[in-house]
Amino acid sequence: MSSKSNRVLIGITGGIAAYKICEVVSTLFKQGIEVRVILTKSAREFITPLTVATLSRHQAYTDEDFWQSTNAHPLHIELGEWANIFLIAPLTANTLGKLAYGMADNLLTNTVLASKCPVLIAPAMNTDMWEQVTVQRNWQMLLADTRYHGMGTASGLLACDRIGQGRMVEPPEIVSYVQSLLYTGGKRDLAGKRVLISAGGTREFLDPVRFIGNPSTGKMGLALAQAALHRGANVTLVHGVADWEAPLGVKAISVVSAEEMGQVMLGEFAQADIIVMSAAVADVKPRDFSIEKLAKKVLPESLPLAPVTDIVAELANCKQPHQKLIGFAAQTGDIITPALDKLRRKNLDAIVANPIDQKDSGFGSDRNQAIYLDRQGNQLEIPPCSKLAMAHYIFDFFKI
């Protein structure tokens, strides 16, 4: 991705969540993304221009710069043309109302009207404010403009000590959405589609404390869910034990064993258009399960095993003509031959073969690489990249 497509303009308005945007600015800069920041007058009551200027390595802009600008071009025009993505966070009820009605009375709102790039908005306010009919009307009015991408609000402890809806989503979730928009340019090519994704490893227990498992963290499935959500899909994510939370807007269902995952996937399958099986599901389980912890001295020297249900095969048998099923094949050595065999044998529409024996690839890594193969004979390389980028590659290659 060229530097010309890595420019993010951030507008910060006056809410206590403004301090969290410092993490967003810092993270984006560390990822090699150019960042410019506009602070409203109210935002400066919470954080200073010096703080964000230090984190972004560039001057922070305020209303004083707008009214006293000596640039050859008006500052709001210059910033609007510069940005590839415009993030406004936290978005207050006041600025939301202005944007909904096309009002422009400060540098931030003038720059919004002077720009054409996608705008990502992350509101934050008290629960009663967020639930006001007028605020919800303004929110829906803004989202009716396809230029705007809304993140909604989370529930939790607010600055007023109330627990409820209105919290701004956390910085890592905002950063992921920004990364997606930089990749896609804001397209919603999965709008109206229902995407069902499996993620993470399963655990097959011998007794209450011992199990057969694998090192899968589910990060690839999480990235697939993020990418699909950001491209407009209705997303359901069925995942094993994980140390992360699914993005706001994703229906997440946690399971433990392969049997549980199979039951949930089959229950959700009929409503899905695209099914992506990225989970590392167990192939076998202990034949016998003890409801009490086994003493070390009675553990068997040879553990009898039993097969588990082949979830992918079961789904393939139920697949309707309009449904598309994508599998994953985590391999060492030759990754293509076994992946092609799995593609044909399990009646998949496509498969993603990734080498887990390569550096920064596979289980536990934040990065990945793969070969994408489909039933039409295409073999497309996904170079080493972040798992979110790889998820977007997959959806780019896979045309429904």
Catalytically active residues, by annotation: 160
Q: Which two three-digit tokens encode residue 361?
A: 């690839």
Q: Which two three-digit tokens encode residue 56?
A: 């972004």
Q: Which two three-digit tokens encode residue 107?
A: 């540098």
Please count the CA atoms within 13 angstroms of the CA of 79 that sit on its side-chain side. Answer: 27
Distance CA 223, CA 389 (A): 8
Distance CA 241, CA 103 (A): 47
Q: Which two three-digit tokens encode residue 393?
A: 């590659």
Select from 263, 390, 383, 373 the least CA-distant residue to 327: 373
The conformational region for residue 275 under phi > 0 = left, psi -120 to 50 = alpha, else beta, is beta
CA distances from 133 to 93, 96, 128, 130 (A): 12, 13, 10, 9
Residues 6+ apart with CB under 8 A from 399: none
